[in-house]
């Protein structure tokens, strides 16, 4: 009598499903080891995520200066994880997705909550609305960035620009009212100034969600030999100034960045016009 189940599995066994094959959950198999060069960038991303969440904690406790500095540290770590991954050849789809989710918390949720708990709550629902719009604009900016990576029709020169304000820059610039409040200027944070702060936060949210081009620093990889000493001196001076006058330096850097936006728009249009002329 022939076997009613003519296959290589007995009655008590079943063929592993497709998802189990992908995860390596078949009997007799083990998970493949993950190289350290892939784990290390993800650890930096998780550390940045922890900094963003810690910034929210300090804001709840009323320690807004520390909350701001923690968000700045998260932005620095966000700039490092990608460079570390590329240097170690440890880029992965998992790391890219994790980085995007961490950026939303660090540069969308955390700054919005810090601003609301600081002074935007003076106008209650209007302040909460501004915080929500800021977080939503950050999410839209990150989603569009992820999609643009797969665009095959992008011109090579477009790599020198970001479409919309980058999320880390949006977080740093969005906290400008706090810098001015805690700097030597001591601008007040009251019910009277709250509407102006809300208007500014909405402006930064618009710049993140818009398609206005911004200069990209990702192409900066090497420094000409004759400028190495100058660059090292400038970096050292900036670090010393940040340590001594953090709020004043952050306010100045934010204003300088805002001043570069019209220059980026003009440069972008010049490249686009050159391509259009070459095509005709």
Could you report the per-residue pLDDT of 251-275, keeping only the tens digit for each? Answer: 999 999 999 999 999 999 988 888 7
In a domain? residue 54: yes
Backbone angles phi, psi at 55, to 5 degrees: -60, -40
In a domain? residue 31: no
Contact (Cβ atoms closer than 8 angstroms) between residue 261 and residue 212: yes
Give 90-144 as a 3 state SS string: CCCHHHHHHHHHHHHHHHHHHHHHHHHHHCHHHHCHHHHHHHHHHHHHHHHHHHH
The Cα 189–Cα 279 span in angstroms is 53
The Cα 231–Cα 220 span in angstroms is 12
pLDDT for 60 beyond 50: yes
In a domain? residue 226: no
User: Among residues of the chain, what percentage have pLDDT more than 90?
Assistant: 54
Between 154 and 111, the more confident residue is 111
Could you report the per-residue pLDDT of 112-123, keeping only the tens digit for each? Answer: 999 999 999 999
- Percent of the chain that is helix, strand, coil (3-state, to 5): 70, 0, 25
Looking at residue 230, the DSSP 8-state letter turns out to be H
Q: Specify the pTM.
A: 0.83
In a domain? residue 4: no
DSSP secondary structure letters along 239-266: HHHHHHSHHHHHHHHHHHHHHHHHHHHH
Domain count, the chain: 1
Give me the domain span that covers residue 265.
36-221+242-272
Q: What angle do CA 109, 113, 116 make, to 5 degrees?
A: 145
In a domain? residue 250: yes
In a domain? residue 46: yes
In a domain? residue 134: yes
Average pLDDT (219-236) is 80
No. of helices (H) and no. of strands (E), the chain: 11, 2
CATH of the domain at 113: 1.20.120.1760
In a domain? residue 1: no
């Amino acid at each position: 009598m022939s076997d009613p189940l003519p296959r290589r599995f007995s009655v008590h066994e079943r063929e592993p499903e497709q998802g189990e094959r992908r995860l390596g959950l078949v009997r007799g198999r083990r998970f493949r080891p993950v190289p350290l060069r892939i784990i290390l960038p993800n650890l930096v991303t998780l550390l940045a995520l922890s900094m963003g969440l810690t910034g929210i904690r300090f804001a709840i406790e009323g320690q807004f200066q520390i909350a701001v500095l923690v968000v700045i540290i998260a932005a620095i770590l966000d700039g490092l994880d990608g460079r570390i991954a590329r240097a170690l050849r440890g880029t992965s789809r998992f790391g890219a997705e994790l980085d995007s989710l961490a950026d939303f918390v660090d540069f969308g949720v955390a700054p919005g909550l810090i601003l609301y708990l600081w002074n935007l709550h003076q106008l209650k629902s209007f302040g909460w609305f501004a915080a929500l719009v800021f977080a939503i604009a950050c999410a839209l900016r990150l989603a569009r960035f992820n999609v643009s990576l797969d665009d095959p029709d992008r011109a090579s020169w477009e790599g020198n620009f970001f479409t919309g304000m980058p999320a880390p820059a949006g977080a740093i610039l969005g906290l400008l009212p706090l810098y001015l409040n805690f700097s030597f200027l001591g601008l007040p944070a009251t019910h009277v100034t709250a509407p102006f702060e809300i208007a500014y936060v909405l402006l930064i949210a618009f710049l993140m969600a818009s398609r206005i081009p911004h200069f990209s620093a990702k192409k900066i990889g090497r420094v000409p030999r004759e400028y190495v000493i100058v660059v090292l001196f400038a970096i050292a001076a900036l670090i010393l100034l940040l340590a001594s006058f953090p709020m004043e330096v952050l306010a100045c850097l934010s204003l300088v960045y805002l001043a570069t936006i019209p220059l980026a728009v003009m440069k972008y249009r010049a490249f686009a016009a050159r391509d259009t002329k070459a095509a005709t």
